[in-house]
Chains A and B, each alone.
Chain A
Amino acid sequence: MNRMSSLALTLFAFGAVLSGCAHDVEVMGRFGGPTNAVVGPDGLLYVSDGYYNSRIAVFTTDGVALREWGTKGYGRGQFNNPHGFAFLNDSTIIVADRDNGRLQLFSLDGALRTVWEGAEVGRPWAVAVTYDGQVVSIDGGDQDNNAPRGGIVILDSDGRVQCRFSGFGSMQGLLNEGHSVAVTDSGDIIVVDLQNKRLQRFNRLGPCEYVVDPSWGSIAEQIGFEPLGVAVKGSTVYVTQQKPFGGIFLLDLATGSKISEIAAGVVERAHSVSIDAEETLWVTDVYGDQVYRFSPSGDVLLTLGGK
């Protein structure tokens, strides 16, 4: 083989490799490990996307792509695994920027407002907002055996840490990778305790006073599932499960008893669930790179994204 033909062959190989590794996921409707989907106060669907992409994407509830913001990185306004989010009020979204170890606050059109971070905040895996504007952030830890960490952080609406409780462990009231969080209308906190494969409920006694409800620690085991995502609407708790293509469990908020299981066999890995004002469910499929909208009975109404 002469020199020129060797060079041509090599360049052809490089071209083939480059075309093969080019990802087209910047197209707005293509997700890369979506982590959460919630209808915001403006009636639009916000999607945190995700493990592979690093953005917040906004759609109408009919699935029309409107806008997006965020790129992968360490800078302010960038993301490194936006793992969850919540709306602080009608104009502010709080994003749990997990691998950058911070909460980032944006206007609903994506303008960065501020960043909350530090040792007390830890590494936020999930975030929720109570009826009176307290921010509940879950420090899921660094997955570090030498310095395991976990906990629930309560911040005021200005980002000041009010208290931090729970911790790492498997005992009642402790967490081993708090993965998802929801708050009830009365401010109680329900956390998916990922590695302990259970739900934990912390009943609110005061603005920074919580007590663990021991009966909730065994609910998932009793029903026979391993929780992954959680949401609360009214008197119902919605829980997705780690099992591939597992359904969504509806539990009674008062007792924890199972009401029903819906949408079984549809979502490969239902990372999160939320419920909008129309009582429809939004579920992210972190494996299938999709966002589903389900009717209250579990029928698929809309699918966004896909491999």
Chain B
Amino acid sequence: MMPRSLLTAALTTVLLLWTLTAQAGTDSTGFSISADLGFNSISSDLNISAVTLSSEIIASYRTSTSFSVVIDLGLAYCTSERSLDNVESSVVVGNSLVGAVWDVDVLSFLRDEQIGLSAGVPLATFPGNIPENRHVEFTYNNANSMRGWSAPYTWIMNVVPVIADIGGSLPFNEHLSADARLMPAFLYSVNRNPSQLTFAGTLGISVHLEDFTPRLSWSMFTTTSSIENNNYDQHSLCLGTDVSLGSTTGTLDLRMNLDAPNGVSVNAPKPFWGVLIGMRW
């Protein structure tokens, strides 16, 4: 499915990052880590059942009060069974994104303003031939769809992504804020498809309670180039909450794709959903 050394390196990195979480603190400098685990299950009358898990770990090292270096790693697993078939399984690594984030204060009425720039190592590629290639493709697509294509660049295949990341929050009052994150990117193709500009964005509202922060957001992803002039834009909704757990924060999200090819419209039979549980240290 993929080079064993690659899998070993990915797992080692994940274990290292988990180890570092023990040292994670809330100081103005030092490590902070967020990790999540997403789940999706397809079980239908359309001759397929599949379970997909995906995990993203974002490790950040703050070198000053306003600057951090960030690495984003992804790992996904999918097992599926179609009638008459043997079980197919794939373990895939996402593109490793490495970047920098600056905390800024450009607009006085916003808070938590951040500007980031990152690039990805193109690890999300085909392993070799059919039938492995198509199942790997299925796995990457599921991993992205369960996350609503909200921050899709970890899971897009055969590209070197170069990403700008702009985020901020508009507080209406002590308890209510609107949040936005914009992630335009250039995807340099490493296969025969054309390179392209893409745009991912999320708009949402958060309600800040004592220990909970419920959130509702809409995400969209669009590209400048299409395949045979067809629209593969993605839209999704996310209903989630942050939960304060002392020095850490837990997250729980339910994401639902709204658009083809994995959503409720066109002749896709069912919406594609994902449940994500995460922690931030």
Contacts and interface: CB of A to CB of B under 8 A. Distances in A.
A118 B50 contact: no
A146 B126 contact: yes
A143 B192 contact: yes
A227 interface: no
A117 B135 CA distance: 13
A75 B175 contact: no
Given A52-B260, A149-B129, A287-B228, A6 B176 contact: yes
Interface stretch (A21-29, A201-209, A229-237): A21-29
Interface stretch (B18-26, B103-111, B229-237, B246-254): B229-237
Interface string A1-26: 10100110010011001100111011
Contact of B205 (A7, A101, A117, A144): A7
Contact of B131 (A25, A112, A119, A147): A119
B130 A118 contact: yes
Interface in B69-105: 80, 82-85
Of the candidates B176, B193, B216, the one having the most CB atoms from chain A within 10 angstroms of its own CB is: B176
Contacts of A287: 228-229
A145 interface: yes
Nearest to A74: B138
B19 to A, nearest CB: 33
A266 interface: no
Contacts of A21: 233, 235, 258-259, 265
B46 A121 contact: no
B205 A10 contact: yes
B22 to A, nearest CB: 39
B178 A10 contact: yes
Contacts of A7: 205
Interface string B128-159: 11110110011000000000000000000010
B240 to A, nearest CB: 15
Size class of the contact patch on chain A: 35 or more
Interface string A106-139: 0000001001011101110000000000000000
A276 interface: no
Nearest to B141: A74
A240 to B, nearest CB: 13
A219 B228 CA distance: 25
Given A53-B267, A118-B130, A6 B205 contact: yes
Contact of B266 (A23, A75, A144, A195): A23
Interface in A185-205: 195
Interface in A152-194: 177
A72 B47 contact: no
A276 B241 CA distance: 59
Contacts of B233: 21
Interface string B243-281: 000000000000000111100011111000000000000
Contacts of B175: 3
A55 B178 contact: no
A51 B230 contact: yes
Contact of B265 (A6, A23, A76, A177): A23
Contact of A123 (B48, B125, B134, B230): B134
A70 B237 contact: no
A225 to B, nearest CB: 19
Nearest to B50: A74
B5 to A, nearest CB: 16
A261 interface: no
A147 B190 CA distance: 12
Contacts of A269: 228-229
Contact of A147 (B82, B128, B228): B128
Contacts of A84: none
A74 B130 contact: no
Nearest to A69: B267
A76 B218 CA distance: 32
Nearest to A100: B134
A195 B193 CA distance: 12
A252 interface: no
Contact of B218 (A14, A51, A78, A101): A14
Contact of A52 (B50, B158, B231): B231
Contacts of B47: 75-78, 112
A101 B130 contact: yes
A73 interface: yes
Of the candidates B47, B50, B130, B133, the one having the most CB atoms from chain A within 10 angstroms of its own CB is: B130
Contacts of B220: 17
A247 interface: no
Contact of B269 (A3, A71, A143): A71
Interface of B: 44, 46-48, 50, 80, 82-85, 125-126, 128-131, 133-134, 137-138, 158, 172-173, 175-176, 178, 190-193, 203, 205, 216, 218, 220, 227-233, 235, 237, 258-261, 265-269
Given A32-B266, A76-B48, A142-B133, 19 more contacts: A3-B175, A6-B172, A13-B218, A14-B218, A14-B237, A26-B266, A33-B230, A52-B266, A73-B48, A74-B50, A75-B46, A75-B82, A77-B46, A77-B47, A78-B46, A142-B130, A144-B158, A147-B126, A287-B229
19 contacts: A3-B176, A6-B178, A22-B265, A23-B266, A33-B228, A52-B230, A52-B261, A72-B269, A74-B80, A75-B47, A76-B47, A76-B83, A101-B131, A112-B47, A119-B130, A121-B130, A122-B129, A123-B133, A149-B129
